[in-house]
Amino acid sequence: MVPNIFSAGLDITEFYQKKPEETDAFWRTLQDVFLRLYGSKLVTIAAISGHSPAGGCLLAMACDYRVMATGKYTIGLNETLLGIIAPFWFIETMKNTIGHRETEKSLQLGKLYSPEQAENIGLVDQICPPDDVLGCARKEMVKWLKIPDHARILTKQLMRNELINNLSSKRKEDIYNFTSFVQKDSIQRSLGLYLESLKKKKS
Ligand SMILES: CCCCC/C=C\C/C=C\CCC/C=C/C(=O)SCCNC(=O)CCNC(=O)[C@H](O)C(C)(C)COP(=O)(O)OP(=O)(O)OC[C@H]1O[C@@H](n2cnc3c(N)ncnc32)[C@H](O)[C@@H]1OP(=O)(O)O
């Protein structure tokens, strides 16, 4: 685990000033990761040890349960703040997690929530002191593993198959949409400015 950061989201440099075939491949890989994690038969618990913006939030939401460290960390789908948009399967995953209305506000505002706020709206299930996040996740895992596996798996599939099938049937179209969107000059400019601002914040 990297202290303070669960995931900084997608590596923007993978779709900034890249060739279309490179962004296609990047997006295909992300679809694969999501479909495997969201569709996993295993019990998956995210131990969110720190910041978890955008793609990081998506990965956490793809799990069955989320434990987040307390502290000055944030989680959420902040895409609009970068001048980009969350694709339909990010949106659906968030709707399935926190409901339609909260998702609508959250996405348009590019909202990043504190751990307490995230727990209040159900974006995370539990908050724990940073040095106990893994411990809390392990304790929760024990509960989930006591459920008969076949019944839990079938239930999970019933809940998740609609989104999995929807994305699986639209993968090519989704890749096309991503690449044509991020390759626009205006979007590349926004991404460049955002990367600059991250570096400036650091110095
Ligand atoms: C109408 C048709 C529609 C079609 C729709 C189709 C597609 C939609 C289009 C696009 C969808 C894209 C979805 C994108 C999802 C994403 O995940 S984008 C990434 C979002 N992530 C962020 O905004 C987080 C940015 N990072 C931070 O805020 C901070 O780094 C931090 C995570 C809070 C940690 O802070 P700190 O510890 O201070 O770390 P540093 O700021 O020092 O960062 C270290 C270096 O890393 C660089 N960096 C950080 N995050 C990223 C990143 N995500 N990508 C690339 N680079 C990143 C940062 O610049 C530092 O670099 P140097 O060390 O200075 O080189």
Which atom of ligand 1 sits closest to the CA of residue 78? 23
**Interface pTM (ipTM) of the complex?**
0.95
How confident is the model over 111-169, as pLDDT tens digits? 999 999 999 999 999 999 999 999 999 999 999 999 999 999 999 999 999 999 999 99
Nearest to 53 by CA among 78, 73, 31, 71: 78
Q: Residue 55 C-alpha to ligand 1 middle, in angstroms?
A: 9
At 203 the pLDDT is 66
Which atom of ligand 1 sits closest to the CA of residue 88? 5
Question: Looking at the whole model, is its pTM more than 0.90?
Answer: yes
Low-confidence ranges of the chain (pLDDT < 70): 203
CB of residue 84 inside a 6 A radius of ligand 1: yes
Q: 68 near 140, Cβ under 8 Å? A: no
- With vertex at residue 112, the alpha carbon angle to CA 106 and CA 114, rounded to the nearest 5 degrees, is 120
At 2 the pLDDT is 73
